[in-house]
Amino acid sequence: MAAPRTTVWQLDPHTKAKHDLLKFYLGGWFPVLSSYNGRIVFLDGFAGPGRYQSGEPGSPLIALETLLAHSYFSKMKCEFLFFFCEAKKDRFESLTQQIAGYKEAHQPWPENVKIQLINSEFSETATNLIEHLRSQKRRLAPTFAFVDPFGFSGLPMSVLAELLSFSSCELFVNYMVDHVNRFATAGNVDHHLVDLFGTTDYKQVGNVTPGQSRQQFLHDLYERQLTDVCKFPYVQSFAMINKTGHIGYYLFHGTRDVKGVELMKDAMWKVDAGGGFQFSDRLAGQDVLFTESAVDTDPLRRALLARYTGKRVSITALEQFTLIHTPYRKTHLRKPVLTPLEREGIIQVERPGRSGFPSGTWITFP
């Protein structure tokens, strides 16, 4: 489904941005989950060779380093189990060497950090893990599944749903919409596409009318399946836009906890994509670029005015709306949006203190 790769290759700018995002997110996820669980799992479904041509670390080493170098690691008493899955034999051998070298450089190796290297396809690994847990009558520990393929084969929606059915499990997946769009109506890889979506509805993309976006149709379908089949109440997607303004792929994050949404939002806004690539999302028909240096909060302002016209609403509800239904962070709400709205006399504010928007504040939108 994609161009062949050698054992190792150059690190692309968009891949570095994706890895930075993973690092920032795990930096928050590890301490949160380890504080109330005896074991947590990181599953890398397409782990790769471990390093790139110029020596940059791949996702397995990034995940390990994020944990071991964390300022709170000594206080994290739970067991960390890392599954690194790589199907290609040459890449698996390279990964094995890189992990061995990393462990040797970090002796004494912490007893609560376990690594399992698996030389098989992601779908096979996930299915075997599910069957093992069933035989043991056990449930999967809270898991963060990082699924980053080169194409779209080997990602069955049904397997993702079963593997991540536990309430604290999360998914971060690279959805190669460009490849999907190219093959959606070709008819020669339908078995892969049925697996990917868990439905044949993708074929309706051929009926998209002129002026509508095939990519948007395929994006919305995948998002709907993550919600309906995998039962993720919170699904966020982030477009990776190249220097020509073209969407190369979407990153989807699925979680069942609002805290996971908050952590991912914080990570997204920290990443400097660089290399001419940008992360973006859409709100009210307008692109929102994830760049802290020049945040355009006008779409958030318009969304709030449209959503809450004629209503009196708490600051807590506004935070939840901002976090769950827009691309923005909580920090983009108060000073960038609410303060100007109050100054302009557009909203009326009832606050328990003399200034700001503390807990207990109510806002009326005329």
Residues in the chain: 366
Pick from 118, 96, 110: nearest CA to 34: 110
The pTM (predicted TM-score) of the whole model is: 0.91
Among the residue ranges 42-46, 280-284, 318-322, 348-352, the one predicted with the least confidence is 280-284
- pLDDT tens digits along 213-259: 899 999 999 999 999 999 999 999 988 887 777 888 899 999 999 99
- pLDDT tens digits along 284-319: 777 888 877 778 999 999 999 999 999 999 999 999
First to last CA, the chain: 53
Side chain identity, residue 259? K
Average pLDDT over residues 112-116: 97
Angle of helix 89-104 relative to helix 59-68, nearest 10 degrees, comes to 20
Q: Write phi, then psi, for 271 (nearest 5 degrees).
A: -75, 130
CATH architecture group of domain 13-294: 3-Layer(aba) Sandwich (3.40)
Cβ atoms within 10 Å of 312's Cβ, excluding its own: 11
- pLDDT tens digits along 195-214: 999 999 999 998 888 767 89
Instruction: Quote the percentage of the chain above a pLDDT of 70.
Output: 97
Average pLDDT over residues 114-118: 97
- Residue 50 corresponds to which tokens in the numbers above? 């471990």
CA–CA gap between residue 319 and residue 323 (Å, rounded): 6
CA–CA gap between residue 155 and residue 365 (Å, rounded): 45
Host H or E run for residue 110: none
